[in-house]
Structure 1
Amino acid sequence: MPVQSGVNSTLALHSSGAIWASLISFVVGTVALFIVVIAARQQWPEVSSLKEAPWWAWTGGLMGALFVATSAFLAPRLGAATMIALFAAGQLVMSLVLDHLGWATFPEHNINLWRILGVLMLFGGVLLIRFN
């Protein structure tokens, strides 16, 4: 993730900003995945099966675009260590919520004191990295 953020941040400097860099990144990624699908002779998904997916199952690309644009914007401002520490801490908090609710195919794991302490320790690490 830090290398990708740095690469996209550099592209943002040469392409009028993080949004253009993100678009270019996704186009390159889409072409690469299309080549892999063709080379691996992957079977095309059935439309009827895709129609059965819940609406939120289609939002992964939006989340990816938000991540790429955000990291391209933040990388030169925060540095790799602080940015990744913040991302990891935020992802861990959301992971606890997803586990607790058992949402999006995750098995249920209740939030407990140990999990909360783990998150607090990670946020402590973020503070140590940011304000060393």
Structure 2
Amino acid sequence: MRLCRSRARPTPPCAQTYASHSPSARSASSSPPLAITVVFGLLRAAGRTPPLRVRPLAAMPRWGWLGGVAAAVYVTVTLLLIPRIGAATTVTLAVTGQQLAPAVIDHFGLFRLPPRALTRTRFGGLAALAIGCALVQFA
């Protein structure tokens, strides 16, 4: 058994074998995009999906492209963190971040939204989330 880099607990041999030797582990990442492409092609052929229009994308504000980048970063970081810190801690950190970021966006009125003050009650709820996150991580 080899030791994980982040912690001193051993990695089960079955996980090592599956990740390094299984053809399905290496090709699993290509299956969802292929399935999505096939389903989209069938829907498009059946006339159930409107044609792709590229012109409206030019009018989109620059910050509008951040959604795709943020989603890619989120998925990548989540997949990298789960084996290192565990699923519960990863999900707890994600949920806490998903509550803290909009509170900052609301408070400063970013992305053309009307400002909404960070009240004591909202701050208390965010603090409770942060404390809960710490309890899950360090318990």
For the criterion TM > 0.5, the same-fold answer is yes
* Distance in 1 (alpha carbons) for counterparts of 2:42 and 2:111: 26
Deviation at 1:37, TM superposition (A): 5.3
Question: Would the alpha carbon gap of residues 36 and 58 (structure 1) be closer, same or farther in structure 2, given more than 3 Å must change?
Answer: farther
SS in structure 2 at match of 1:72: helix
TM-score by length of 1: 0.68
Question: Would the alpha carbon gap of residues 107 and 68 (structure 1) be closer, same or farther in structure 2, given more than 3 Å must change?
Answer: same
User: Mind listing any 5+ residue stretches in structure 2 that lack a counterpart?
Assistant: 1-18
Question: Would the alpha carbon gap of residues 28 and 70 (structure 1) be closer, same or farther in structure 2, given more than 3 Å must change?
Answer: farther
**More divergent stretch after superposition (58-67 vs 107-116):** 107-116
Bigger radius of gyration among the two: 2
User: Mind listing any 5+ residue stretches in structure 1 that lack a counterpart?
Assistant: 1-12
* Distance in 2 (alpha carbons) for counterparts of 1:120 and 1:60: 26
Deviation at 1:120, TM superposition (A): 0.7
1:31 maps to 37
Deviation at 1:34, TM superposition (A): 2.8
Deviation at 1:31, TM superposition (A): 2.4
1:1-132 alignment to 2 at 5 Å? 13=19, 24=30, 27-28=33-34, 31=37, 34-35=40-41, 38=44, 41-104=48-111, 106-132=113-139
* Distance in 1 (alpha carbons) for counterparts of 2:109 and 2:42: 32
Question: Would the alpha carbon gap of residues 14 and 119 (structure 1) be closer, same or farther in structure 2, given more than 3 Å must change?
Answer: farther
Counterpart code for 1:66:
V
Question: Would the alpha carbon gap of residues 109 and 123 (structure 1) be closer, same or farther in structure 2, given more than 3 Å must change?
Answer: same
Question: Would the alpha carbon gap of residues 32 and 59 (structure 1) be closer, same or farther in structure 2, given more than 3 Å must change?
Answer: farther
Q: Percent identity among equivalent residues?
A: 30
Deviation at 1:106, TM superposition (A): 4.5
Counterpart code for 2:33:
V
* Distance in 2 (alpha carbons) for counterparts of 1:36 and 1:111: 47
* Distance in 2 (alpha carbons) for counterparts of 1:106 and 1:25: 39
Equivalences, count:
115
Counterpart code for 2:81:
L
TM-score by length of 2: 0.65
